[in-house]
């Protein structure tokens, strides 16, 4: 909700939420470092911890210039275990989360959630409703079970669940993986549910620079679907099938497959055009008089505000994070990027093959799933299942313990999630993705 140009959530300035949660995450990751690693116990899933952050600071927390707030961390040990499973080192997590101000994303969803993206592009923090937060807590043991049995999954990777408490208001937040790295240009992106009812991007959404389209838009843009090699197709469909089975077992509905499409052919054309533009500009500069020199002024449009920079320094020095100098930070970031990407690419999510991305060209983006459009353009797909915290069971306000999610005799409530899962799989496997025919697309025998 925008008020007088300021983005607010529950009437709290978004900047305050962002700064405060950075302090909170800083504290919790820091204090976890003193607790030795150990096996996960059942009660780790229900555990929570609340820390007070008075502006003047305390023996445990630094002074800050936000308002007085409290920060609750859900299941700290369990999430540490998950982060470890996803190969995210505590230092890297801390660095991504607190070393730089986060960017706020404009949310195409209807729920009014705010999304923050960490500066290094690795993580997304989403505000969630109370019932979604409660549901994720209940889901954790099952989520853990699924991860241990099935590490190849398109389900969201959850890295933390928090509640920011200020002025008797609660803002609940979940940290998860960012599916669409912003250094790879998405030529289009779709939020697909397999339903057609009102599944068209709004006018306002379509006018954005990078809109998120929906099912009906996809059918219009790709009436023949998107083609995958047989092995890739099978791997993707098997992954979706297993994931849907898990979602159905928790009576989860309304999730989507987020599909970002990088078009390699368009990207190559864009690159050529840019080179020509640059060459022209250079020529013009040479031909022009020496007065053209001011062209080289520094563009600091995206420099963070002084206030944020100060806060950042305060945070960095408090934690004494190594390498927060500009050079050090950049080095660490690119190292992290390589390492994290290696564990979270779309291609890796569907195949157990660690070398899956090796065939790609040198300067081509990494980690996408290779595909073709029906007119034979080369595509890379970045995909994942999102928005899985809506359970039919909770909507019906039935008793919602972990046990009752699993063992309920209510057949009506099982029916809708199972219908949703089936329709979702059918749409992805039959309309959205297709197996590349074994004969060449453009010269099929029938067209001779």
Residues engaged in binding ligand ATP (CB under 6 A):
107-111, 113, 115, 124, 176-180, 191, 212, 256, 258, 386-387
- Residue 249: other Cβ atoms inside 10 A: 16
Q: In b/e form, how buried is each residue of 301-340, taking b as 16+ CB within 10 angstroms?
A: eeeeeeebeebbeebbebbebebbeeeebeebbeebbeeb
C-beta of residue 433 within 8 angstroms of C-beta of residue 225: yes
Nearer to ligand ATP (CB atom), residue 178 or residue 232: 178
- For residue 448, the minimal CB distance to Ca ion (Å) is 46
Ranges assigned E (strand) in 389-441? 433-435
Sign of the Cα torsion 117, 251, 347, 226 reads negative
Task: Tell whether residue 217 is a contact of Ca ion (CB under 5 A).
Answer: no
- DSSP state at residue 225: -
Task: Tell whether residue 111 is a contact of Ca ion (CB under 5 A).
Answer: yes
- For residue 143, the minimal CB distance to Ca ion (Å) is 17
State which residue has the least CB distance to Ca ion: 387
C-beta of residue 72 within 8 angstroms of C-beta of residue 50: yes
Task: Tell whether residue 119 is a contact of Ca ion (CB under 5 A).
Answer: no
Task: Tell whether residue 243 is a contact of Ca ion (CB under 5 A).
Answer: no
Binder of residue 258, out of Ca ion, ligand ATP, none (CB less than 5 to 8 A by kind)? ligand ATP
Nearer to ligand ATP (CB atom), residue 236 or residue 258: 258
# binding residues, Ca ion (CB under 5 A): 2
Nearer to ligand ATP (CB atom), residue 44 or residue 191: 191
Binder of residue 110, out of Ca ion, ligand ATP, none (CB less than 5 to 8 A by kind)? ligand ATP
C-beta of residue 263 within 8 angstroms of C-beta of residue 377: yes
Cα 384 to Cα 256: distance, rounded to the nearest angstrom: 8
- For residue 321, the minimal CB distance to ligand ATP (Å) is 25
Stretch that binds Ca ion, among 104-112, 166-174, 181-189, 370-378 (CB under 5 A): 104-112
C-beta of residue 166 within 8 angstroms of C-beta of residue 11: no
- For residue 111, the minimal CB distance to Ca ion (Å) is 5
C-alpha 105 chain-centroid distance:
11
Placement of tokens 């607190």 in the chain: 98
Task: Tell whether residue 387 is a contact of Ca ion (CB under 5 A).
Answer: yes
Nearer to ligand ATP (CB atom), residue 111 or residue 149: 111
Nearer to Ca ion (CB atom), residue 122 or residue 387: 387
Cα 68 to Cα 167: distance, rounded to the nearest angstrom: 8
* Interacting residues with Ca ion (CB under 5 A): 111, 387
């Amino acid at each position: 909700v925008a008020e007088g140009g300021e983005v607010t959530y529950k009437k709290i300035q978004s900047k305050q939420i962002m700064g405060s949660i950075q302090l909170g995450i800083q504290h919790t990751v820091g204090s976890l470092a003193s607790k030795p690693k150990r096996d996960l116990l059942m009660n780790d899933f229900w555990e929570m911890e609340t820390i007070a952050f008075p502006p003047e600071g305390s023996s445990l927390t630094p002074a800050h210039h936000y308002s007085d707030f409290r920060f609750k961390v859900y299941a700290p040990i369990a999430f540490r275990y998950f982060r470890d499973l996803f190969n995210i080192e505590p230092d890297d997590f801390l660095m991504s989360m607190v070393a730089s101000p986060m960017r706020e994303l404009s949310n195409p969803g209807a729920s009014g959630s705010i999304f923050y993206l960490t500066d290094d592009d690795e993580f997304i923090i989403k505000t969630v409703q109370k019932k979604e937060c409660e549901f994720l807590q209940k889901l954790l043991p099952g989520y853990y079970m699924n991860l241990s049995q099935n590490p190849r999954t398109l389900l969201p990777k959850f890295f933390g669940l928090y509640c920011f408490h200020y002025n008797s208001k609660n803002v609940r937040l979940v940290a998860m993986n960012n599916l669409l790295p912003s250094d790879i240009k998405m030529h289009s992106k779709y939020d697909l549910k397999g339903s057609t009812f009102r599944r068209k991007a709004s006018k306002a959404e379509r006018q954005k620079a990078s809109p998120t389209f929906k099912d009906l838009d996809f059918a219009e843009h790709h009436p023949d679907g998107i083609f995958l090699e047989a092995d890739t197709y099978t791997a993707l469909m098997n992954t979706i099938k297993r994931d849907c089975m898990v979602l159905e077992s928790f009576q989860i509905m309304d999730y989507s497959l987020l599909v970002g499409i990088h078009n390699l052919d368009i990207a190559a054309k864009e690159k050529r055009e840019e080179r020509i533009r640059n060459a022209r500009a250079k020529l013009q500069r040479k031909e022009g008089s020496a007065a053209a020199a001011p062209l080289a002024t520094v563009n600091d449009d995206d420099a963070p505000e002084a206030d944020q920079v100060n806060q950042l320094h305060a945070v960095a020095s408090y934690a004494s994070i190594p390498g927060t100098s500009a050079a050090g930070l950049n080095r660490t970031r690119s190292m992290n990027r390589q390492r994290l990407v290696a564990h979270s690419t779309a291609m890796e999510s569907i195949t157990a093959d660690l070398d899956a991305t090796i065939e790609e060209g040198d300067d081509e983006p990494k980690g996408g799933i290779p595909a073709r459009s029906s007119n034979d353009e080369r595509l890379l797909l970045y995909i994942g299942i999102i928005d899985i915290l809506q359970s039919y069971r909770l909507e019906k306000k039935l008793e919602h313990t972990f046990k009752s999610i699993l063992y309920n005799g209510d057949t009506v409530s099982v029916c809708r999630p199972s219908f949703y899962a089936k329709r979702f799989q059918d749409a992805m496997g039959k309309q959205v993705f297709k197996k590349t025919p074994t004969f060449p697309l453009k010269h099929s025998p029938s067209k001779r």
